[in-house]
């Protein structure tokens, strides 16, 4: 499947999030468990309108794991409660691709964004994030917006 990748200038978006560390195969367990913690705190407070679930990925220092911020986008900063902290997606230029389908099969969309950056002569910072649309029982209706933060100017 061909994916359309676009260059986007994005602003930082605050979110209530849990810090986690996981290897790729652990994500299907770690992400929902982390979101459960976030929603438990948000339900107990008054965070204002809730946005989309979001997972921010950074390479782990050991080269095998990823450092994550798993959370919910908010329209205003969040003070934090316990292990649920204020985090934000980065501002700046990003390669953006829309993926429709089962979460476990989005690797080619990620690869498309990485390939696009290379073709444009742009380096990647190593930071990426996924913004999940509304839930559907039909996997073909699941939308995920995937972003890869780009380094400075194009190299060419």
User: Residue for token digits 């995937």?
Assistant: 146
| Domain assignment of residue 102, given as a range | 5-150
In a domain, 77, yes or no: yes
Q: Is the pTM of this model over 0.85?
A: yes
Model pLDDT, residue 154: 55
Model pLDDT, residue 15: 94
Q: How many domains would you assign to the chain?
A: 1
The CA-atom distances, in angstroms, between 111 and each of 40, 51, 82 are 34, 26, 36
- Spans in the chain with pLDDT lower than 70: 153-156
The CA-atom distances, in angstroms, between 136 and each of 22, 51, 84, 87, 142 are 26, 16, 26, 26, 6
CATH of the domain at 137: 3.20.80.10
Q: Is 126 left (phi over 0), alpha (psi -120 to 50) or beta?
A: left
In a domain, 104, yes or no: yes
Lateral strand order in the sheet of 5-10: 5-10, 92-100, 143-150, 124-132, 50-59, 66-74, 13-22, 84-89
In a domain, 155, yes or no: no
Model pLDDT, residue 1: 73
The token pair that represents 113 in the structure block: 């964004």
In a domain, 74, yes or no: yes
In a domain, 156, yes or no: no
Model pLDDT, residue 131: 97
């Amino acid at each position: 499947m061909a994916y359309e990748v676009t260059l986007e200038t994005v602003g930082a978006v605050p979110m209530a999030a849990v810090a986690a560390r996981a290897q790729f195969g652990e994500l299907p367990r770690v992400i929902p468990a982390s979101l459960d913690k976030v929603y438990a705190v948000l339900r107990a407070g008054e965070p204002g309108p809730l946005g989309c679930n979001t997972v921010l990925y950074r390479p782990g220092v050991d080269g095998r794991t990823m450092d994550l911020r798993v959370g919910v986008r908010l329209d205003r900063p969040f003070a934090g409660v316990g292990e649920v902290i204020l985090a934000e997606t980065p501002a700046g230029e990003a390669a953006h691709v829309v993926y429709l389908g089962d979460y476990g099969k989005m690797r080619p969309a990620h690869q498309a964004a990485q390939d696009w950056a290379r073709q444009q002569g742009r380096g990647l910072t190593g930071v990426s994030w996924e913004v999940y649309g509304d839930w559907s029982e039909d996997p073909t209706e699941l939308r995920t917006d995937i972003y890869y933060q780009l380094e400075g100017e194009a190299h060419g």
